Chains A and B, each alone.
Chain A
């Protein structure tokens, strides 16, 4: 019987632990982080079990309290939501293990509120994905956002300003989304996603529906950092503390991307989305501009975290591009990239965190070739993640690009294909630059002898998550056919 309650269990786990952490944290502060790890671990285990159950028995519609919609609240655990919760909870589990050590340095004494907030944010993310109701989605969006603002405000001196900026822009985005939902409610009379999907063909060509769709795309586009709504992201990710960035960067924008997938491919369907204006193509072009803009800006950065932040803008573009292609290969590529990018970005932000902890900075121009002796495993993980970001086989990053490329060709969309190829080269520029610094002497600084360094790796609780993510990129590379086989079945058309 546990299967039919799984959607609720996943979200309720986070509710439970967001209460448990303050209770135990007030008693013993050191318990906060382990509790958060357990909470996310339990949620990840539920997600994994749920996904296996989905593969065997199909989707679950869960009515809270047995009340059927439209009166009651519904959670839907189908392929798309199952895949997303599995990805975000699994990544969060490892990141929370990792964050124990840096949190002691970055905000000593405040672990209890931090991890309670982290659990609330995860509740918001999971709720957004699992809910079957557009208004509830907004509620969860606000839960996730409010706790996210707080988490980002912890960090360097400019972090509160960055968080405030994000708050202003993010709230505007959330409001636009809510407006869109309001429009749809007046037209269709329902907020339930499945009901609305059934009714949509009747209303798709009314101007209010199109307005609602645009409002929702723009509003969620802010959260997804879709170009040109990305302005909040670089500062937030750069100045927030390592623990927050590593937690939010890999999964925050993905959840927003999930909403776009749900609305465009499920609720509206690609034909109705494009019924009045070629909206999906516009979104795709914006994604392309974002890809190139993010990559070029990343090349211009000398701070590793900032570089990674711009790279995130670029990578979210791949996911949105796959969405706009709206064919099986594009969808599979985008979904695979959700997984790949979550792991790559988590790994890379962890690496920048390792360096910040040990060196006190992550300024690329100050990297030198002693790092390869001091941090051999961190740097090996970096090499793997970097090569995967560039997209060389057999690492995971190659395959999302391969499927996206197949998707662009299926649509004869040569512009998008060219963008994918060019962006890979730009990625190579900013990642190989660091590899050069770390593994080689710097002749421009007149260096004649390789620098020596003694082994100075971070503690196991930080190192293991980093290396596990790096290794998993190789594993996913070889196992991607299985994953993509599942993803192709999820595609709605």
Chain B
């Protein structure tokens, strides 16, 4: 079977779905049917690419030339497929959850919401399958523009300010990415993502290399939430919770860390990174981000804000893993993309369910809610434990691999950071669980669980987190895929 059109179709399916979604704006059930249908087709298309990816094969497709010699090119390589499986798979759950959420919360402009969501997913899959930097920029900017209506969705003061902040950060980042890519093109004559990097045949002065790297870092670091570029992320929590869940835990920020990995592994290459000492910058920044963001998370009383800072910290786990430049580190980082995705989406789903059901946003108001929302809080507990790295939930395994990776690179400080941050995770999640289960609550009479449209996705993602922790290869061979990707970067690098 010829698969070459599948990546394109996987991107386009949700873009095309925007038309029927807009047209059926008066019929909510039909409109949501289109969303679900697009999500299922998209996931199915991505899955057809999986067997090839597990064998290490890539599917390539060259469309029109975007510029002379620079095509709009798609390449579903193992790493892209890995990311696409996670993003498109979780979109299905988020779609169901979204329906429950926007109807439960009585949100306005639901058509715009679902249409923007669909465009975001197209852009995310596009990012996963981009074969070169120019194509990548196209989808990266598309993601920025499509996320904007979701960030400002409430159209209140905080939302609009968050939107401005978001645009200021991401548009600047996009421009720096353009500049960085133009520089790469100027010096190397190519902008294709190549395992092992494009600088292998080029000797550049150290400062030039450093400038290009810093431009890239600033460009992709914004969406990856690396401090001090994370400012937009907590502000963007003004968005409806499903948006925070999918976009600010899976699609947007993971596009950021995905981009970091692409830049480190496929633009600079592991060897060049090490030779020029560029990874040290990443290690320092990500290590600092992990600790600082975890500490800031303590101070947040708003549940979503606490989750946001926790996201900032966990994104840097991935960046740290990649920056270690060891096979295990890379593998751990890539694994954590999947682990953090399922865990954080569970936590955000819980926060949204609590908000829609009880209209409570602050942690100090969550006393005793486990009695009325036992399933939700059970899932929340699983998610928190996973992020704290408690076995057998899937966060443990990626952290373990990360620790192995830093030992492999003969670095001790990253291990210490990982351990301390694990404790901090326990520190800021445990009080929530404690309040929910052990403190007597007030004003909870007459409340029950949220609607099944929300609770079922919560339970599914929580169960998935446990299953992935126990059997990393159970679904879709994601563990093998992560190992393959990691090894492929090192095999090409060592001659």
Contact = CB atoms under 8 A, between A and B. Distances in A.
Contact of A393 (B68, B137, B155, B160): B137
16 contacts: A392-B142, A393-B137, A393-B138, A393-B141, A393-B142, A410-B186, A421-B175, A421-B176, A439-B149, A443-B156, A444-B157, A450-B155, A478-B72, A481-B65, A481-B70, A488-B68
B355 interface: no
A484 interface: yes
Residue picked from B163, B171, B183, most chain A C-beta under 10 Å: B171
Interface of A: 387, 390, 392-394, 398-399, 401-403, 405-406, 409-410, 417, 421, 424-425, 428, 432, 436, 439-441, 443-444, 450, 478-482, 484-485, 488
Nearest to B65: A481
Residue picked from B72, B141, B172, most chain A C-beta under 10 Å: B141
B202 interface: no
A234 to B, nearest CB: 26
B167 interface: yes
A416 B196 CA distance: 32
Nearest to A418: B179
B160 A405 contact: no
B67 A428 contact: no
Contacts of A387: 145
Given A403-B67, A428-B167, A409 B186 contact: yes
Contacts of B66: 393-394, 399, 478, 480-481
B68 A405 contact: no
10 closest A-B pairs by CB: A481-B65, A393-B138, A443-B157, A441-B155, A392-B141, A421-B175, A409-B186, A405-B182, A440-B155, A443-B156
Contacts of A481: 64-68, 70
Interface of B: 64-68, 70, 72, 108-109, 134, 137-138, 141-142, 144-145, 149, 152, 155-157, 160, 163-164, 167-168, 171-172, 174-176, 178-179, 182-183, 185-186
Contacts of A403: 67
Contact of A399 (B67, B108, B152, B175): B67
Contacts of B64: 478-479, 481
Nearest to B157: A443
A398 B141 CA distance: 11
A402 B67 CA distance: 9
Contacts of A432: 164, 167
Contacts of A421: 175-176, 178-179
B62 to A, nearest CB: 12
Contact of B183 (A394, A409, A441): A409
Contact of A402 (B142, B164, B168, B178): B178
A444 B172 CA distance: 26
A260 B248 CA distance: 49
Nearest to B112: A439
Contacts of A406: 182, 185-186
Given A481-B66, A481-B67, 10 more contacts: A392-B142, A392-B145, A393-B142, A398-B141, A405-B182, A436-B163, A443-B156, A478-B66, A484-B68, A485-B68
Residue picked from B64, B68, B108, B185, most chain A C-beta under 10 Å: B68
B67 A425 contact: no
A402 B175 contact: no
A436 B178 contact: no
A440 B160 contact: yes
Contacts of B141: 392-393, 398
Nearest to A421: B175
A424 B172 CA distance: 9
B172 A402 contact: no
A479 B142 CA distance: 18
Residue picked from A387, A409, A425, A481, most chain B C-beta under 10 Å: A481
A399 B64 CA distance: 14
Contacts of A401: 178
Contacts of B175: 421, 424-425
